[in-house]
Amino acid sequence: MKRTATILLSLLLFTTYCSKPGSEINDVISTSASSVPAVSEAEKVEEPQEQVDPTESISRSRTNAITNAVEKASPAIVSITVTELQTGYTRSQDPFFSFFFSRPVQREVQSMGSGFIISEDGLVVTNEHVASESAKTIKVSLANGEVHDAELLGSDELADLALLKIKGDKNDFPYIKFANSEEVMVGEWAIAMGNPFGLFADGQPSVTVGVVSATKRDFRPDPEEPRLYMDMIQTDASINRGNSGGPLVNSEGEVIGVNTFIFTGGTSNGFVGLGFAIPSDRVQKIINQLKESGSVSLAFDPGMEFTPMTRQLVYQYGLNPIPGLLVTTVNKDGPAYECGIMPGDIIIRIGEERVSSEMHAWALMREFEEGEKMVIQLHRDGKEYEAEMTLRKSVAGR
């Protein structure tokens, strides 16, 4: 009986112990689990990393916005070789005869410049002083080594631009696009591309890099010539002989201007950090007219005709010897008559620029559009006055 009570008591105690939460058994299990040592960060197995080739890394670092722009634009850059006939004079073999007379002779002269293709069918833009109407033959060399004959579609001396067309039926030429020159920022990258000193022989254009130094620069480099450069883009990208007609490219590989001339500061040492390009907006305006008609015309009719002042006119009509343009006729239905201009008036200024020749006057008038107002300073009867002309009506031939 005593043994039976002992067994019953033992079973009761076992059941009570096992049913308690947080019992020693659970503590043992917990203690055993916590006794397993944790894996340290150093002992964790790291996944294998991809090995980078140092050469490939360096190659990637060499690629930038400028190299991308050059790669994009290079196929459309061309070298232009022009052959012209120039007339000279030579002495006769007879000493007595040659003392009084010399005979004219003609010889072929080659010159080189740069340009760029603007369409798949082979339209090429360059400077007029590179390819003009006096050209006998024009050859265009591409970066891929191809050489093609080209013809002159039109040229404009005042704007110093010419439009060429590569001969043949090929319609898959690489070409370059124009950017909006009004959006050009001073300080942004500027890349000059072309054929300086005829170094294009290996098929690759030369590339020089600088920044846009300034915009809207106005120049008349030679007072004896009618060319007038307005709103020019200034750059310190090196431009040398042979770069004329090549593009000034932005970091997106688009044309912002046509490289045209450099300023040497009165020295003969070549480039000194001042190069100038015709802005792309003006270029497109001129070449669109050259493509359509082969010439450039005013967008309005001034309604008058004029001629340069000469000594003969001064003596013949008793005029004041004032440099300018003598108004010869005025159309009664034109804007010149409406603003008070009369025959016999002498045009002194157009806008803010003093007029020096008839061609110079037409170049100045090109800066105005139909609907605008143009101020003209005139001389009449010993006095000067201004006339404000409202421009209207398009006229062909200028």
User: Strands, DSSP E only, in the chain?
Assistant: 77-91, 102-117, 123-126, 135-141, 147-156, 161-166, 189-194, 206-219, 229-235, 247-249, 255-262, 275-279, 304-308, 325-330, 346-350, 353-354, 373-380, 383-390
Where are the chain's structural domains?
Answer: 71-166, 181-293, 304-390
Residues in the chain with pLDDT < 70? Answer: 1-52, 87-105, 201-203, 221-226, 265-270, 394-398
What's the pLDDT score for residue 252?
96
Q: Of the listed 74, 79, 129, 141, which one is catalytic?
A: 129
Q: Of the listed 244, 301, 360, 379, which one is catalytic?
A: 244
What's the pLDDT score for residue 8?
46
What's the pLDDT score for residue 67?
94
Whether the CB-CB separation of 306 and 326 falls below 8 Å is answered with yes
CATH of domain 181-293: 2.40.10.10
What's the pLDDT score for residue 3?
53
Instruction: Indicate the DSSP class of residue 46.
Output: P
Return d(Cα 175, Cα 77) in angstroms, integer: 8
Instruction: Indicate the DSSP class of residue 198.
Output: G
What's the pLDDT score for residue 28?
38
- From the CB of residue 298, how many other CB atoms can be counted at a distance below 10 Å? 19
What's the pLDDT score for residue 377?
95
Any catalytic annotation for residue 244?
A: yes
Single out the residue of 369, 358, 218 nearest to residue 298, CA to CA: 369
What's the pLDDT score for residue 242?
87
| Same fold yes or no, 71-166 and 181-293 | yes
Phi, psi of 378 (to 5 degrees): -130, 160
What's the pLDDT score for residue 62?
86
Return d(Cα 220, Cα 353) in angstroms, integer: 11
Any catalytic annotation for residue 129?
A: yes
Strand partners, 375: 388
Any catalytic annotation for residue 231?
A: no
Q: Write down how long the chain is.
A: 398
Return d(Cα 16, Cα 215) in angstroms, integer: 98
Strand partners, 261: 276
Residue 310 tokens, joined: 């000469």
Domain 71-166 has CATH 2.40.10.10: yes
State the amino acid at position 222 in one-letter form: D
* CATH architecture for segment(s) 304-390: Roll (2.30)
Q: What residues contact residue 242 under an 8 Å CB cut-off, 6+ apart?
A: 112, 113, 114, 194, 195, 196, 197, 198, 199
What's the pLDDT score for residue 222?
67
Q: Of the listed 79, 155, 156, 160, which one is catalytic?
A: 160
314 Ramachandran zone, left/alpha/beta (phi>0; psi -120 to 50): alpha
Return d(Cα 77, Cα 141) in angstroms, integer: 9
